[in-house]
Chains A and B, each alone.
Chain A
Amino acid sequence: MDEQNITKRVLRDDTLVINPGQMLDNNNAHSMAGAIASAQASGYKFIIVNMANLQFLSSAGVGSILGNIETSREAGGDIILCNASETILHILGVLDLTDYLTIKSTEEEALTLCGVES
């Protein structure tokens, strides 16, 4: 399904943007976790998850991101979420994760955090 497509975009040697598509649920959470882990293994310290198209985030989708965060942080980087809709932010808030996660309104703000000029 197209809506399950996960795309990647390299910004610089240590920064990668991942777009999870419209749905991040049980069907593609393992792919998302794999994409993040693969990026980390390739040396990308900062991984920006651009949720601009994301309409639904399941618990498995949350887990696919959450389970990889410490790896990035221990490497001096982070996984940064951006462009999340109000409903996605609400779910992250319900799970009491908004303080734990690094969340920015736009990709530009996320890039600034990574030290990348937009």
Chain B
Amino acid sequence: MQIDTKATPSIAIPSDLSAESMAGFDERLRDLLRKGPDKIALDSSQLKIVTSSHINVLWQVYQTCADAGVEVKLQSPSAGLVRILKVLDLYDVFGESRDIVYTRLKEAVKIESVDGAETYADEFRANVGSINDALDEFLRFLKRLCLHEITEYELRSVFYEVVTNIRTHANIEGNDLIVFTCRADESKILLVFADSGIPFDLTSVTADFDLRATARNGQTRGFGITLIRMLTDTISYTRRDDVINVLTLKKKWNQ
């Protein structure tokens, strides 16, 4: 799937809300609006600690831009800012600039190309239809690798479980993107997934999950992470500074 991207002018929200800082910010905002953009990105990366005053500034910027007919989207909001905006029912007002999120996601899943290795990349929305299509595409890639049926099925399972896990735990919406790359060489396959949802580190979930005890209790959750663990050799999770989640899994061949 190809996603449309184009550059959006950006302005950083200062963490320091002193009169001097805000005067400079107001001037930069006015300069930006004079250029007549369709939309601007509010770079929120400096807001490590968010107070009601910051929210007030965000709201004032939104109103100023709305009066000028300019769409406003957040860029690089912290998880804390996203949570606060959601609690205040303001997140949908700002949302995040999809093209900026897209660029970050693409950057997050970059893997080096290696001579002789097969690579594959895809990007898809976090809804059932898109995920199923992505799974079909991934299967076509696996077919090209001529893997053993069991190995192919294991990788299909890993892909499905990871993506549904992201969809469930990252609290992303059906229109949000998941970006994926993988590289297979003669000894292993590397799978990298990126999303812009809330942090969820599946490597932090206990490894000694007792399926049978869980079953006896009539519970049905937690099997997916166990399956991912059992079907891969290494898993690493990173929450990047630009609030992108990156999950990297490695599976060796011929064990």
Contacts and interface: CB of A to CB of B under 8 A. Distances in A.
Same complex for A and B? Answer yes
A27 B128 contact: yes
Contacts, number: 73
A59 B150 contact: no
B220 A90 contact: no
Contact of A86 (B150, B161, B219): B150
- The A contact surface, by secondary structure, is helix
A95 B215 contact: no
A58 B220 contact: no
Given A94-B231, A96-B211, A71 B224 contact: no
- The B contact surface, by secondary structure, is helix
B164 interface: yes
A103 interface: no
Interface residues of B, number: 25
Interface string A69-103: 11100000000000000110011001111001000
Interface residues of A, number: 27
A26 B230 contact: no
A94 B154 CA distance: 10
Contact of B220 (A64, A86, A94, A96): A64
Interface in B212-231: 212, 214-216, 218-221, 223-224, 226-227, 230-231
Interface of B: 128, 149-150, 153-154, 156-157, 160-161, 164, 211-212, 214-216, 218-221, 223-224, 226-227, 230-231
